[in-house]
Amino acid sequence: MPQPVITLKGISFTYPGGKTALDRIDLTFYEGERIGLLGPNGSGKTTLFHIIMGLLQPTSGAMAFFGNPLKDPRDFKTIYRQIGLLFQDADDQLFCPSVLEDVAFGPLNMGASREEAIRIARETLAHLGLEGFEDRFPHHLSGGEKRFVSLATVLAMSPRALLLDEPTTGLDAQTRTRLIDVLKGLDLSYLIISHDMAFLAEITDKVYAMEKGRLYTEEKVRLHRHVHAHPHGAHPHEHR
Amino acid sequence: MIAEPFAVGRSPIHRMDPRPRVVLATVFSFLAALSNGIPTLAGGLAFSVILVAAARLDMGLLVRRLLPLWGFLLLLWLVLPLTHKGETLYTIGPLPATREGLLLSARITLKSHAILLAFTAWVATMSFVTLGHALNRLRAPEKIVHLLLLTYRYIFVLEEEYGRLLRAARLRGFQPGTNLHTYRTYAYLIGMLFLRAADRAQRVHRAMQCRGFQGKFYSLYRFRAAPSDWIGGAAMTVAMIGLVYLEWKCRNLS
C-alpha cells in the first residue's frame, strides 16, 4: 500500500474580499503518483499549490503530510524539504546574483555546510545538463535555461514530491521535450498544473480537473490519443 | 541599466582582496572630506590619481563619469567667489570676487575629485555582487547587504516591466508631451510598476519560504588576502597616514 504524500480534507480558501478560490477540496496524493491538474484560468490551481506549501492558510479544512496531520503552521518547515514547488515565473524563484548561489540557497537553509551546499548544487546542475552555468547571472539566462535552473533549485533540496506550476509555459518544442525527458527520469511523485494536454498525456498517469474552486477527481476527465487526418501541406503545424 | 564597465580588468587593484579596498575607500573619503589644508587635498588628489593609474581605467569612460561633477563644479566656481565674504581679489562689474570664495571652490574641487577617483579605482573595479559579499564579510548590517543584492537582481526585471508597459502605451499611440494627459499616463505607468513590484516581492518571498528561508542568508563567498594584499594595503595606509600628518602640519601653521 503506497503512502499518501498529501491528504486534503474539505479544504476551502476565501481571499480577503470574499472571492472563494477553493471550495471543499478533497485530495489524496499517493507516493509514486503522477497527476496532472487541468482547469481554466482562475479556477484555483495555483492557490491550491500555495495552500499545500503553507504559503496561504486555508479558511477551513484539514491537511496531512505523509500520514501525519498538520496541527501547527510551523510544521511547514519540515514540509519544505519534502515537497518542492516550481513556480510559474522563474524570475520569482531565481533571486540570487548567481546560479550557483541560487541552487545552494535551499541546502544552506536546510543546514548544509558551505562545501556540502556547493557540492549538492554542482551535482544537481550537472544532473540537469547545466554544467558551466554556476557563475551566470540568472537574469541573463534564456527562458528555458531559467526553467531548468529553477528546477535545479527545487531538486537540490532532494524532495520526495514535486508540485509543478505550468512548467512548459513559454518553452520552445525542443526545450519542452528536454523537460519531459528530465521529468520522466525523476524517481519522484508529482502534481502538475498545465494547459498543455499532450504534455500531461505524456508524463502523467491521471488527470484531475478544477473548475471554480472545485476539484474533480473522478475519472471523468481522461486524456486519450486518437488518429486524425488532414491535407499535407508546407506549413509547419503541431499535433496535439 | 546598471553597467559595470570598470569591474573587469587584471590590474593590481582588480586583483586585490575586495575587503581592504572597501575599508580603504571609506577611510580615505572621510579623510579627504574632513581635511582643509590645500596641500593635504592636493596630496589626496595625487594619491587617487596614482590609484586610477594603477587600476588602468579607461580614461574616456572615466571622463564621461566625471562630466556631471564638472558641471556642478563649474556652477560653484561661478557663484562661490562672488557670494562668499572676505578679502576682495578682483571685481566683475559691481560684484567683488573674494580670496576665501576662490579657496573654498578649490577645496571642494580637490576633495570631490580625490574621493570620486579613489572610489572609482577601489570600489567601481569590483562587481556589484562582489561588493555585496565584501560588505557581508566586513559585517555590514545584513539587511543593507540583502537590499543591495536583491535590488541588483530585480532592477533589471523591473526595468523590463517598465519597458513593456511603456511599449504597450506607445503602441496605442501615446506620445509624451507637456500636458496633463502625459503626466497622468506616466503616473499610471509608475503606479502599475509599484503594484507589479509589490506583487513580485510577495512571490519571491514565497519562493524563498518554500526553500526553507528563515531570514538568514548564507554567503558562499570566501575572500583570501594574499601577501601582496597586505603589502599593498600597508603602503596605502602609510600614504594616508602621511596625508593626516600633512593636514596636522597645515592646521598648526594657520
**Structure confidence by residue, pLDDT tens digits, B202-215:** 898 888 888 888 87
Which of A95, A115, A125, A164 to substitute to test the interface with B, most B CBs within 10 Å?
A95
Average model confidence (pLDDT) across chain B: 87
**Structure confidence by residue, pLDDT tens digits, B120-131:** 999 999 888 888
Which of B148, B155, B211, B222 to substitute to test the interface with A, most A CBs within 10 Å?
B211
**Structure confidence by residue, pLDDT tens digits, B229-251:** 888 889 999 999 999 998 898 88
**Structure confidence by residue, pLDDT tens digits, B80-115:** 888 888 888 888 778 888 888 889 999 999 999 999
Show Cβ contacts of residue A37 under 8 Å, excluding neighbours closer than 6 positions.
A45, A48, A191, A192, A193, A194, A207, A208, A209, A210
**Does residue B229 sit in the same domain as residue B189?**
no
**Does residue B198 sit in the same domain as residue B247?**
no
Give chain A's count of helices (H) and strands (E): 8, 10
Q: Using CB atoms within 10 Å of the CB of residue B166, give its burial: 0 to 12 exposed, 13 to 18 middle, 19+ buried.
A: middle
Judged against a pLDDT cut of 70, whether residue A236 lies above it is answered with: no
A19-33, A169-183, A198-212, B161-175: least confident range: B161-175
User: From the CA of B213, how many Å to the nearest CA of chain A?
Assistant: 6
**Does residue B145 sit in the same domain as residue B108?**
no
Does residue B7 lie in a domain region? no
Nearest to A92 among B129, B132, B200 (CB): B200
Judged against a pLDDT cut of 60, whether residue B146 lies above it is answered with: yes
Does residue B237 lie in a domain region? yes
**Does residue B182 sit in the same domain as residue B90?**
no
Does residue B215 lie in a domain region? no
Residues of B with Cβ-Cβ distance to A101 under 8 angstroms: 220
**Structure confidence by residue, pLDDT tens digits, A49-67:** 999 988 888 999 999 888 8
Assigned C-alpha cell, A92 = 520569482
**Does residue B84 sit in the same domain as residue B174?**
no
Judged against a pLDDT cut of 60, whether residue A220 lies above it is answered with: no
Per-domain boundaries in chain A? 1-82+159-223, 91-158
Average model confidence (pLDDT) across chain A: 86
Does residue B120 lie in a domain region? yes
Specify the number of domains making up chain B.
2
pLDDT, residue A226, reads 62
ipTM: 0.76
**Does residue B109 sit in the same domain as residue B72?**
yes
The Cα B147–Cα B204 span in angstroms is 14
Does residue B217 lie in a domain region? no
Judged against a pLDDT cut of 90, whether residue B4 lies above it is answered with: no
**Residue holding cell 597616514?**
B241
| E strands, chain B, in order | 88-92, 95-98
**Structure confidence by residue, pLDDT tens digits, A126-152:** 999 998 898 888 888 998 999 999 999
Position A34 confidence tier, pLDDT thresholds 50, 70, 90: very high
Quick check: A87 and B203 CB within 8 A?
A: yes
Q: Can you tell me whether residue A82 is helix, strand or coil? A: coil
Judged against a pLDDT cut of 80, whether residue B136 lies above it is answered with: yes
Domain extent for B242 = 12-126+225-253
Asked if B126 and B109 touch (Cβ cutoff 8 Å), the reply is no
pLDDT, residue A233, reads 63
Q: Which residues between 25 and 54 in chain A have a beta carbon less than 8 angstroms from any beta carbon of chain B?
A: 50, 53-54
Residues of A with Cβ-Cβ distance to B149 under 8 angstroms: 96-97
Judged against a pLDDT cut of 70, whether residue A230 lies above it is answered with: no
The topology under which CATH files domain A1-82+159-223 is Rossmann fold (3.40.50)
Quick check: A92 and B211 CB within 8 A?
A: no
pLDDT, residue A222, reads 60
Quick check: A95 and B207 CB within 8 A?
A: yes
The Cα A43–Cα B145 span in angstroms is 39
pLDDT, residue A228, reads 63
Q: What's the Cα-to-Cα distance from A99 to each of A21, A96, A135, A153, B12, rounded to whole Å?
A: 34, 7, 6, 9, 28
Does residue B60 lie in a domain region? yes
pLDDT, residue A181, reads 92
**Does residue B248 sit in the same domain as residue B190?**
no
The Cα A148–Cα A154 span in angstroms is 10
Does residue B2 lie in a domain region? no
Does residue B220 lie in a domain region? no
Residues of B with CB under 8 A from a CB of A: 128-129, 132, 149-150, 152-154, 156-157, 200, 203-204, 206-214, 216, 218, 220, 222
**Does residue B50 sit in the same domain as residue B153?**
no
User: From the CA of B11, how many Å to the nearest CA of chain A?
Assistant: 22
Which of A52, A77, A108, A110 to substitute to test the interface with B, most B CBs within 10 Å?
A108
Q: What's the Cα-to-Cα distance from A61 to each of A215, A239, B103, B109, B239, rounded to whole Å?
A: 14, 41, 76, 69, 70
**Does residue B38 sit in the same domain as residue B162?**
no
Position B1 confidence tier, pLDDT thresholds 50, 70, 90: very low
Show Cβ contacts of residue A123 under 8 Å, excluding neighbours closer than 6 positions.
none
